[in-house]
Amino acid sequence: MDRIFSGIQPTGTPHLGNYLGAIQNWVNLQEECSSVLYSIMDMHSFTMPKEPAVLRQNILDTTAAILACGIDPNKCLLFRQSLVPEHAELAWILGCLTNVPRLLRLPQWKMKRASQNSEGTVGLLTYPVLQAADILLYKSTRVPVGEDQVLHLELAQDIAQHFNKKYGEFFPVPKAILSTTKRIKSLRDPSAKMSKSDPQKLATVTIADSPDEIVLKFRKAVTDFTSEVTYEPAARPGVSNLVSIHAAVTGLSIKDVLHQATGLDTAHYKMVVAEAVIQKFAPIRNEIKKLQEDKSHLIKVLEDGAEKAKELAAPIYQEIRRLVGFQ
């Protein structure tokens, strides 16, 4: 059957890029498919360990945010990854079928190891195998991914095919659902993608930022010395990033956005984009605040979702155990 799986790391309140590149698409997909699973990937976030209290709060804040954005537990399974132990168990089996040079070639391993200024951990190297297990554990057929995760999905596809060749046809080979939204860039460095880990506070807009914070961040957004608003990602990445954001939050095409911006200089256009973002996130921000006041509800949503996820995973994993000889 058609089944969609995706996940988000609990880094706290998602930023503008998370919303436009992933969460907004999730909301649409839960209406289109009868079997959809979304996971709070707390095990993946442990590749860069945080204080336990911080991790617990981040899990709740991320859950509140995606519920406020429109994810409905009645239309999908929303659960916390670590509450379903079969994810880690399947990752071990799949890891034993995956060669190390393949993992060493993945660009995320090189980038994240460099950002941590270390030799890197086993978890950091092998988390793409855990991603494959996340997907394959439910025999998922489609996976929403951004540009930076395409290679990891290709690894999952190869692992599925390798398993099928060795043990017989079992896993469907999952296909990518690519986001149509342009990747949202940092407001301070348009050559880099927007990120919660960016040390520059003004670089990243979160969906819970106040109107004043949003205005300040867009006012300080890096553009160039040409005042006209145009869309030229290679030549004018800063202004083009603003145009992409404006189009994405309003649902307009790039062409329509540029038409609206005719006669505006970039300084005034920044405020137009800021206002569009404020309008988009105002109801979401209010709903996040309400949900954060009821921690027990957030915990119950994740636990209920995990129970349902286990019901799906258990028979599939038992068959995997039989196929590989564990039982």
pLDDT in tens, 163-194: 999 999 999 999 999 887 778 999 999 999 99
Please state, in angstroms and rounded to a whole number, the distance separating the CA atoms of residues 278 and 110.
Answer: 36
Q: Cα angle at 286 between 214 and 281, to 5 degrees?
A: 40
Please state, in angstroms and rounded to a whole number, the distance separating the CA atoms of residues 102 and 236.
Answer: 36
H or E element at residue 18:
helix 16-18
The predicted model gives 49-65 an average pLDDT of 95
Angle between helix 295-324 and helix 266-292 axes, rounded to 10 deg: 90
Please give the model's pTM, rounded to 2 decimal places. 0.91
3 state SS of 142: strand
Strands 142-145 and 175-178: parallel
Tell me if 126 sits within 8 A of 112, measured CB to CB.
no
Q: Which of 139, 193, 217, 280 is catalytic?
A: 193
The predicted model gives 24-30 an average pLDDT of 95
112 catalytic, yes or no?
yes
DSSP letter string over 185-233? BPSS-TTSB--TT-S-GGG--BTT--HHHHHHHHHT----S--B----T
Tell me if 277 sits within 8 A of 20, measured CB to CB.
no
Q: Which of 50, 196, 220, 308 is catalytic?
A: 196
Average pLDDT over the chain, rounded to an integer: 94
State how far the alpha carbon of 273 is from the alpha carbons of 131, 184, 235, 284, in Å: 35, 13, 20, 17
Under the banding of pLDDT at 50, 70 and 90, the label for residue 149 is confident
Please state, in angstroms and rounded to a whole number, the distance separating the CA atoms of residues 170 and 316.
Answer: 10
pLDDT in tens, 198-251: 889 999 999 999 999 999 999 999 999 999 999 999 999 999 999 999 999 999
3 state SS of 79: strand
- Tally the C-alpha atoms within 13 A of residue 229's C-alpha that lie toward its C-beta: 25
The DSSP letter of residue 116 is T
50 catalytic, yes or no?
no
Please state, in angstroms and rounded to a whole number, the distance separating the CA atoms of residues 112 and 119.
Answer: 10
Torsional class of 261: left (φ above 0), alpha (ψ -120 to 50), beta (otherwise): alpha
How much is the pLDDT for 117?
63
Please state, in angstroms and rounded to a whole number, the distance separating the CA atoms of residues 284 and 64.
Answer: 10
The predicted model gives 149-161 an average pLDDT of 94
What's the token pair of residue 277?
Answer: 């973002």
- Amino acid, single-letter form, for residue 22: A
Cβ count within 10 A of residue 147: 12
Instruction: Output the CA torsion sign for 297, 301, 302, 308.
Output: positive
pLDDT in tens, 65-118: 999 999 999 999 999 999 999 999 999 999 999 999 999 998 878 777 766 666
196 catalytic, yes or no?
yes
